[in-house]
Amino acid sequence: MNLDADVLVIGSGMAGLVAGTVSASAGLKTIVVTRGQGATADSSGALDILGYLPEAGSAVGSPLEGLYAISALHPLHPYSLLGFEAEEGSVNGDRVVEQVRAATEWFLEQMRASSIPYIGTLDELLWPLTMLGTTKPTALLQKTMDPRSLDEESDSTVLFAGVRGFPDFHSSLAAKAFLEARQSEGTGPRRVSNCTIDLVPFGVSHNLSAIEIARHLDRPEGVDALVQQLRSSIEMSGATHVVIPPILGLREPVARKDFLEEQLGATIIELLGFPPSVPGVRLQLALEDILRMSGGTLLRGHEVASARISDGRVLRVTANAPARSIEIEASAFVLTTGKFIGGGISGITDGLHETVFGLPVFDSHRESTEGLRPQRLTDLVSITSSGHRLFGCGVGCDETLRPITSDGDRYASNLFCAGAVMAGHNWPQEKSGLGVALSTGYVAGQAAIGKVRS
């Protein structure tokens, strides 16, 4: 049986779910079709807007400052597209900031009512701690990860608490890395210590995964065990702050943090972790919830395999489930399939390909990548300040977020792009991944509404 909608969003990461929610909130019949989850669910849960300018080694002063710099220096960056003024032929930095601010405030507002309220603004960078004991610049954080009290209170003692049998986090190594970094900066806490606690969701203290511990802490007996275990270590170390891996439950992490702080009299901070990430899943679930609550439909387990295009319009797409196939018709389409993790862009020996519409793939400077092996787009050195060219590659879009052909023409009048599938932002280097996804998803959702109503 076939489906129809006003707006069909292809992909269910940050960009897709935001575009879908914006469209559904406007009362349009919206379907978000998705094959699987992607980089959003795999993320640390931190929402980066901009940490570093493209190809620059030192961090920006604030996301706001960074956005103005990008507007001035990188007109093809997805952020810049949001403020491109066609009459002037230039990027209006104020317009860029206005758009990103609107998206950010909308997101904070949406999350305020969820189980994972976010903190942060465009006006300052946050430097959360990671499970390696290092820090990274970001803009918005789940409230449980707020690191600011560590910097504000210089007379503090920080306790790194690991969980026995949870191999992703080593509390003494993290504590050591943290201490070394703080000493070289001459800032931060007076004392750092570490401990390993026992939490046994299934009666054994080996081969534990973050998700098991998180689910264990969703139950009262799990939290009670955590309180007991931490209490003696806090007493011994005199800790004012306890940093733990991101394990404070899937459902009500803030309530867990508040309860622990009340019981223990110390500030509890979750670290940023690696995939498989509990905060990433929290974010994914919260975004899916807001889509549902806005009246949008999430159609899982369907891969969009082909599209029917006529007279410069996308008419419908074919979506395949494991044993069925359906056609979905819509007035406007938003492509948010992500890059290499989400599967929107695939890289094989004969080059990079956009996987749904076969759109041409460009690099950050809008140069064609046609025929280039992905290896040709990487550096020999794995971590450099300029990043790998490969990660800036994606679909080229005009200022309306419509993808363009290799001749620079619009591919279709009713197709918009958002998120990592777009070219022009080297997200791992810039720390701009979810911020671009949020901002372009927000704007693409509005563009799709405009298209349907016109």
User: Residue 336 in contact with residue 19, Cβ under 8 Å?
Assistant: yes
Query: Under the criterion CB under 8 A, does residue 1 sit at the interface with other proteins?
Result: yes
User: Residue 158 in contact with residue 241, Cβ under 8 Å?
Assistant: yes
Task: Choose between 71 and 277: whose C-beta lies nearer to other proteins.
Answer: 277
Q: Find the shortest distance in angstroms from Cβ 112 to other proteins.
A: 23
Using CB under 8 A as the criterion, what x/- string covers residues 315-354 for binding other proteins? Answer: ------xxxx-x-----------x--xxx-----------
Task: Choose between 35 and 241: whose C-beta lies nearer to other proteins.
Answer: 35
Query: Under the criterion CB under 8 A, does residue 39 sit at the interface with other proteins?
Result: yes
Query: Under the criterion CB under 8 A, does residue 212 sit at the interface with other proteins?
Result: yes
Using CB under 8 A as the criterion, what x/- string covers residues 162-201 for binding other proteins? Answer: ---------------------------------------x
User: Residue 11 in contact with residue 338, Cβ under 8 Å?
Assistant: yes
Q: Which is nearest to 42 in space by CA: 341, 423, 254?
A: 341
Query: Under the criterion CB under 8 A, does residue 206 sit at the interface with other proteins?
Result: yes
Catalogue the E-assigned strands of 153-266.
Answer: 157-163, 191-197, 241-244
Of 35-43, 86-94, 154-162, 177-185, the segment contacting other proteins by CB under 8 A is 35-43
Q: Find the shortest distance in angstroms from Cβ 126 to other proteins.
A: 24
Query: Under the criterion CB under 8 A, does residue 255 sit at the interface with other proteins?
Result: no
Q: Which of 192, 242, 248, 299 binds other proteins (CB under 8 A)?
A: 299
How many residues touch other proteins under the rule CB under 8 A: the total is 37
Q: Residue 5 belongs to what H/E stretch?
A: strand 3-10
Task: Choose between 230 and 278: whose C-beta lies nearer to other proteins.
Answer: 278
317: three-class secondary structure by DSSP:
strand
- Give 298's Cβ-side CA count (13 Å radius): 24
Q: Find the shortest distance in angstroms from Cβ 42 to other proteins.
A: 5
d(CA 442, CA 434): 12
User: Residue 38 in contact with residue 17, Cβ under 8 Å?
Assistant: no
Residues 271-290 that bind other proteins (CB under 8 A): 275-278, 281
Query: Under the criterion CB under 8 A, does residue 293 sit at the interface with other proteins?
Result: no
Determine the residue type at 9.
V
Beta bridge partners of 403: 397
Q: Find the shortest distance in angstroms from Cβ 420 to other proteins.
A: 12
Task: Choose between 25 and 277: whose C-beta lies nearer to other proteins.
Answer: 277
Task: Choose between 347 and 396: whose C-beta lies nearer to other proteins.
Answer: 347
User: Residue 54 in contact with residue 77, Cβ under 8 Å?
Assistant: yes
Q: Which of 303, 354, 363, 430 binds other proteins (CB under 8 A)?
A: 303
Q: What share of the chain is helix, strand, coil (3-state, %, to 5)?
A: 35, 25, 40
Longest dimension (CA), the chain: 73
Query: Under the criterion CB under 8 A, does residue 230 sit at the interface with other proteins?
Result: no
Query: Under the criterion CB under 8 A, does residue 208 sit at the interface with other proteins?
Result: yes
Q: Which long-range contacts (CB under 8 A, 24 or more apart) does 21-25 make?
A: 21/110, 21/287, 21/290, 21/291, 21/294, 21/296, 21/445, 22/106, 22/441, 22/442, 22/445, 22/446, 22/449, 23/296, 23/334, 23/445, 23/448, 23/449, 24/291, 24/294, 24/295, 24/296, 25/294, 25/295
Residue ranges that bind other proteins, judged by CB under 8 A: 1, 35-39, 41-42, 201-202, 204, 206-209, 211-212, 215, 275-278, 281, 299-303, 321-324, 326, 338, 341-343
